[in-house]
Amino acid sequence: MFIEQAYKGNNTWWRVVITALLTTGIFIGNFIMYFMMSDKQMKAAYDLMKHIPNNLSLIINLLPFVFLLGMLFLLVYFLNERNLITLTTSRQKVDFKRILFSFGLIVFISILGFAASFYADNSNIISNFHPVKFLILLTISLLLFPFQIGLEEYLFRGYLMQQIGIVVKNRWFPLLFTSIIFGLFHSANPEVAEMGFGVMIFYIGTGLLLGIMTLMDDSLELALGFHLGNNLMASILITSDFSALQTDALFRYSGVENTSNMLNEMIISIAITYPIILFILAKKYKWTNWKEKLTGKVSPIQAEEIVINE
C-alpha cells in the first residue's frame, strides 16, 4: 500500500515539517507574491517575461526544480531516513514500463486532440517551426521537465500524500487535500493571470486524476509519465500570441484570446478525457477495490505486514 510506505521512515514531527517547508518554499513564495502584487504589477511582470527570449525564459522557470528535487531526495533519505523507493512505489523496484505507457498515452491523446482541432478549424493555427529554435526547445524540455514534474509528483503525490495519510489515518483526505493544494500552488502561473481563476478547476482536477492514479496503482510511476507527457506536449506542440509564457513550439495560435472556449475545453478534458484515461489504465493494470484504495483506512499494522511480506 502506497501511503503506508511512510511508516518505513523516521516520522518525527520536526523532521517532516523541515522537509515539507523547505521543499514547498518556491510554491508558497509564488502563492504569497501573487496575492501581494496588484494586477498592474502582475501584468508588468508577465510583460517583462514576454521580452525574454523564449528558450531562456523556459530555462529560468525550470532550473530551480533541479535543485529542489535534489533537496527533497536528500532530506527524505538523510533526515527522514527513508529509502527513495518507498517514495516512488510500494513494489520492490521502479517499473519504468508504467512510466513509458502513461507518457505515451497522454502524448497520443494530446496529438489526437490537436489533430481534431486542426481539422475542424485551422484558420488561426500557423506553422511556427524554426529548426534550430525548436531543437533547443526540445533539448531543454527533455532535460529539465523531468525535474519539474518530478518535484511536483514526489512532493504532492509522494511525500505530502504519504505523510498526511499516516497522520489522518485515511486515504480520501490526503487525496483531496493534495489535489487542492496542487491547484492553489499553481495560482501564480501565467495562465491564471491571463485566463482567470476558472482555470484552477483544471489544475485541481488534474491533481485529483494524478492522485487517483497513484493510490489505485500504489505507486507514482503512472503519474510521473502522465505529467511529463502532458507538460512536454504543452511546451512543444502549440503556443499562442497571448500566452504569458511562450515557447518556440511547432505551431502558434494567432487568433484572439477566447477565455470562455479555453475553459470549456479544460472542463471537457476533466469530465470526459480524464475518466477515459482512468478506464484505460484500470483495464490494463486490473485495478480493483476502488473504494478501499481511495477512501480506506491507513494503519501501521498494514505497514508491518508489508515488511513481513517483503
Enclosing H/E stretch for 126: strand 125-127
CA separation for the pair 299, 296 (Å, rounded): 10
Residues in the chain: 310
Sign, CA torsion 145/149/152/155 = negative
Model-level pTM? 0.92
Give me the sheet containing 125-127, strands edge to edge: 125-127, 251-253, 238-240
CA separation for the pair 234, 295 (Å, rounded): 32
Distance of CA 6 to the CA centre of its chain: 21
Q: What is the pLDDT of residues 212-271, one digit of tens each?
A: 999 999 999 999 999 999 999 999 999 876 665 679 999 998 765 666 667 777 888 889
Distance of CA 300 to the CA centre of its chain: 29
Contacts of 242 (CB under 8 A, 6+ apart): 194, 257
Closest CA to 157 of 6, 274, 310, 28: 6
Q: Looking at the 3D structure of the chain, how many domains does it have?
A: 1
Q: What is the mean pLDDT of residues 135-157?
A: 97
Domain that holds residue 145: 3-309
Q: What is the mean pLDDT of residues 39-65?
A: 83
Cell matching residue 242:
497571448
Split at pLDDT 50, 70, 90, the class of 78 is very high
Q: What is the pLDDT of residues 182-200, one digit of tens each?
A: 998 887 776 666 666 778 8
